[in-house]
Chain A
Amino acid sequence: MKSERLDMTQHRRNSGLKVGALAVPTVAALILTGCSASTGSSSSSGGSQEFSLSFATSNTIESPFQVLAENYMKSHPNVKITFNPQPNDSYDQTLRTQLQAGNASDVVVTSPGSGTGRSILPLVQAGFLEPLDDAAKQLLPEGSASTFGSDGKVYGQATEITISALVSNETAADAAGGFPADYSSLQQQCKALESSGKSLFALAGSAPPNTGLMAMSLAASRVYAEDPKWNDKRAAKETTFAGSDGWKAALEAVNTLKDAGCFQKGAAGGGFDAITKGLASGTSLSGFIPAPSWKQLQSAAGGSQFAVRPFPAEQGSGKSYVFASANYAFSINAASKNKDAAKAFLDWAAQPEQTKAFAEIDGALPVSGLDKYDFDGGAYKNVGGLIKDGKYGPLPNIQWPNSAVYDALATGVQGIITGQKSPDQVLQAMDAAWEQ
């Protein structure tokens, strides 16, 4: 009897273990697949006043998206926003993975066009974004409707206008005899600065986004000032990068700047820290970085004034040109269960006072009312004239068909600086990437 009972116990234990053995992988599989079933935030009962917001952060400074959302919560006490900040370098991948899995935040920060991982057009094509209403349509920067959606629908609400040109340490520039006004005096000043151990530009040569931004800034007066619709022609195959004299001149200018000693020593291996250190300490006068950085640099380098400047064009050419575009947008996740709350937030953010406040928080230009903006005396005084005269266009890579084109430009410019590649090779690689 005792033996039987013991055997029974053993048998039961055996079956228990068998069940356990099967249960562990089953539960594991459920947990693994369960990830895709959950959503970013729970939907609350009765009108869902709760939603989540994903945005990219790249430094310790508080994100303007978070500040705006906190202001919204203050003015709407019944709303609760869950923040999902992601590091900037992994934001695109995280966003795509979460959207694919169905657990992305209700409101996500995207970019217009199709040039990056967070770009609106491929996400719309995959059915991940919700069409937005008139408030978003009214904020569309002129001529950029095709990068915010298709078939007359808009999937992103522009947040601010970002200038992409030069950010300069004005205090250091004044000490060096002023910022050069045209391209030939720029080359002379590069040589003078080099002999005093300084540089006109701080370049993050090992960080492809920075080399790419420099090349586009050089193309501003050489390609887009003459032909603002150049990208449309490239898309229609009426021209190519390799066949464009303007683009060739822009990349040859990289060699000219290098030979004139315009970059800091060891620029080819420099990271973004080379720019922040160089500009904050004044050992470099300027850098090719998005304009809102002037505000962060100014707060980091107490005592120095920072400003936004166009890249100096040839004297008397009248070809000064800057890139000014809405580079970031709010979009609503098509799989969101809190679309009403998300839409209410976007409608609120579209109000003129909110767009103005957002631009001030970030140090950018407001997405609405730019024609009435007071440029005098601020960080944007050097580009105010160009904006008012309409001598600006969207950042070119927003309109490029995929991120490989910009990658070919950015890594190619790195190769030009190190002597590995010729401008022609880089332009051919960009054409090849365009056709992918």
Chain B
Amino acid sequence: MTATMQPKSEAAEAPRRGKRTPGTGENTRPRRGPMQFGHWWWALPGIALVFAIHYVATGIGGFFAFTNWTGIGSFKITGWANFEAIFKDPTKLGALSNTLFLAFGSVLLGNIAGLVIALGLNRVLKTRYILRTLFFMPVVLSPLATAYIWKYIFDFDGPLNAFLTAIGAGDQAKPWLADPQWAIWTVLVVLVWSSTGFAMVIFMAGLAGVPVDVEEAAAIDGANLWQRFRNVTLPAIRPAVAIATTLGIVQGLRVFDPIMALTGGGPAGATETLATLVYKQAFALGNFGGGAALALVLAAIILIFAVLQQRLTRSNPED
């Protein structure tokens, strides 16, 4: 610990040495701890870039939601027409329900799986470090690249159908990603697979803070495994649950690349989400205004669910 702190305190000393007249007593001047190091305007480049790239760009994009711009040439301000079109169109409402299904489905299943794995790999298992790495791997790998591997697995001529045929279930073989009933579940499997590792890491960090002696005390008092989990572990990792589910919802609502690579929103819109629709409207169909309006709706939905999620899972109501 001391070793890691050392460079920090040295760095904090450096400007002080330059500014100070040698020989003056250290204790005559007010101490400037490491927290005072730096000036507010040092953040200006970052603030300016974030402002220009995030807020100005988003603001301009938001403005185009109220126009009929096609992506080129001139445009007219059309008021709320783009938003009216969204809520009148059944395909867009279908995309909204797909978005919510995939977001909540992946959060629920991904977090349950992540928690189970985190509990399993928390202390006892000898191979836990290797297994943690393996379970975390999907988070690190490119979602686009892994989506193509999954696409190959679910392909009609792919390994999954070959396996089904090999075990004598050949009649169950189907083009998984082009089957109107199965496509969205197939996409959900991939999303859960990719989000489990992330939830696992957050839960493991939470579990590291659960005091062993409390658990032992509960065990001595006769609490069984479930009671210990329900009454000791879970309350202790509640902040981790809040973070994992909130990030999962935000990530799930805006998921784009795996769906684009797996199904492109097909078959016939069965796996279309708001994010893939935004892309299609704005960039493939040249309806930039409509795409921007959809993006605003998506942003509003993400905001609402993120706030709701935070309120539901916060550990202390006075927070």
| A and B pair up | yes
A17 touches B42 (CB 8 A): yes
- The answer to whether the Cβ of B96 comes within 8 Å of any Cβ in the partner chain is no
B67: chain A residues at CB < 8 Å are: none
Specify which chain A residues have a CB less than 8 angstroms from the CB of B18 in the assembled complex: 6, 9-10
A96 touches B45 (CB 8 A): no
Which stretch in A131-139, A264-272, A339-347, A368-376 binds the other chain?
Answer: A264-272
Specify which chain A residues have a CB less than 8 angstroms from the CB of B11 in the assembled complex: none
A25 touches B179 (CB 8 A): no
Of the candidates A128, A267, A420, the one having the most CB atoms from chain B within 10 angstroms of its own CB is A420
**Residue A44 is within 8 A (CB to CB) of chain B in the complex:** no
Decide yes or no whether B157 CB sits under 8 A from chain A.
yes
On whether the beta carbons of A100 and B71 are closer than 8 Å, the reply is yes
Number of residue pairs spanning A and B whose beta carbons lie under 8 angstroms apart: 124
CA distance A9 to B21 in the complex (A): 13
Which residues of chain B have C-beta atoms less than 8 A from A9's C-beta? 18
The reply to whether the CB of B268 lies closer than 8 angstroms to some CB of chain A is yes
Contact between chains at B72 and A418 (CB < 8 Å): no
Contacts of B42 in A (CB 8 A): 17, 21
A378 to B306, CA, bound (A): 64
Task: State how many residues of chain A have any CB contact under 8 Å with chain B.
Answer: 51
What B residues does A3 contact at CB under 8 A? 21
Which residues 87-146 in A have Cβ within 8 Å of B in the complex?
92-93, 96-97, 99-100, 117, 122-123, 125-128
Q: Is the pair B19, A123 in contact by a Cβ cutoff of 8 Å?
A: no
Complex Cα gap A152–B167 (Å): 68
B267 adjacent to A418 (CB under 8 Å): yes
A123 to B179, CA, bound (A): 38
Chain B interface secondary structure, helix, strand, loop or mixed? loop
* Contact A93 B19, CB 8 Å, known A122-B73, A268-B175: no
CB nearest neighbor in B for A128: B72
> How many residues of B are in contact with the other chain, CB < 8 A?
39
A414 & B49 in contact (Cβ 8 Å cutoff): no
| Known contacts A402-B286, A411-B269; A418/B178 CB under 8 A | yes
A414 pairs with B44, CB closer than 8 A: no
B285 within 8 Å of A by Cβ?
yes
B269 touches A122 (CB 8 A): no
Q: A366 to chain B: which residues have CB within 8 Å?
A: none
0/1 interface trace, chain B 166-189, chain A, CB 8 Å (1 if under)? 000000001111111000000000
User: Given A402-B285, A407-B285, A420-B270, is A126 in contact with B19 using a C-beta cutoff of 8 Å?
Assistant: no
**B129 interface residue (CB < 8 Å to A):** no
Given contacts A21-B44, A92-B284, A411-B266, 5 further A-B contacts (CB under 8 A): A6-B21, A21-B41, A206-B264, A266-B178, A268-B179
Chain A residues near B (Cβ < 8 Å):
2-3, 6-7, 9-10, 17-18, 21-22, 24-25, 28-29, 32, 92-93, 96-97, 99-100, 117, 122-123, 125-128, 205-206, 208, 265-270, 402-404, 407, 411-412, 414-415, 417-421, 436
Q: Which 3 residue pairs spanning A and B have beta carbons closest together?
A: A266-B156, A126-B73, A415-B268
